[in-house]
Amino acid sequence: MFALVQDNTITKTLSGNRGITLGDIQYPRSIYTLWSAAEREAIGIYEVVFDNTNKKDEAYYNNTNQSFAFAGGVVTASYGSATAKALADANATDEDGVELDPVVVIDGLKTKHKRIIKQQASGLLIPTDWYVIKATDVESYSVPSAITTFRANVRTKSNDMEVLIDACSTVDELAALYEYVNTGTEENPVMERPLGEFPEAV
C-alpha cells in the first residue's frame, strides 16, 4: 500500500495496482514496482509502513480501523486500542439501547467455543453410534468395552473442556487454553495445551 502526500498531508491511500495522474502527468502503475522509493517520494508517493503493535487476534478482539500518519518522511498505518469481545451472551438492543422484543441473544465467546467443543465431540461419537443402535435393536449384542470406554471418555473430556471455558474471566484466559506449550524438555519436547485433547478414535 502507498499514500499520496501533498503539503505534508496524506491526501489519499493507493493500492499500487493502477496508475495515477498528478497535475498534468499520468504515471503508470509500474512506478510502484520499478521506481525506487526516492523516485516515488519525489512526486509525493510513499510506501506505507504498518505498525501492528496494537493489533490483536481477531478471534478474541475487535480491532479499530487503521489510521494513517505522516511524520519524519514516513507514512505509518497503525491501530488504536483493541476491544475484547464479550465472553458472555447478551441481549441485542436497538439504537437507543432498548432490548429487542422478541429477545435476540448475541452469543458470547464462551457459548461459541462450547458449541465447537460439542460439535467436535459429536463428530467423534457419530462413527460408533451404530454400535449403540445395534445393541438397542439386537438383544443378544453388546457394545464392545473399548467402544463404551471411548465414548464415555469423549463425553467426559467434552464436559471438562466446557468447564475450563466457563471458568475464564477474560478473553486472554480463554485464548491461553488453546496455546500449545512445551511441557517436556528441549531435547524431548511435548507440546500440550491447557484445554487438553479428545481421546483418539478407536
Report residue 4 as a C-alpha cell.
499520496
Q: Considering the entire predicted model, what is its pTM?
A: 0.84
Contacts of range 67-75, beta carbons closer than 8 Å, 24 or more positions apart:
68/3, 68/10, 68/13, 69/10, 70/3, 70/5, 70/8, 70/9, 70/10, 70/46, 73/41, 73/46, 74/46, 74/49, 75/2, 75/3, 75/5, 75/10, 75/46, 75/47, 75/48, 75/49
The dihedrals phi and psi of 77, each to the nearest 5 degrees, come to: -110, 125
Using alpha carbons, select from 148, 158, 157 the residue that is nearest to residue 202.
Answer: 148
The domain spans of the chain are 2-84, 108-192
Neighbours of 96 (CB within 10 A): 5
Q: How would you write the pLDDT of the chain (202 residues) with one tens digit per residue?
A: 999 999 999 999 999 999 999 999 999 999 999 999 999 999 999 999 999 999 999 999 999 999 999 999 999 999 999 999 999 999 999 999 999 999 999 999 999 999 999 999 999 999 999 999 999 999 999 999 999 999 999 999 999 999 999 999 999 999 999 999 999 999 999 999 999 999 998 8
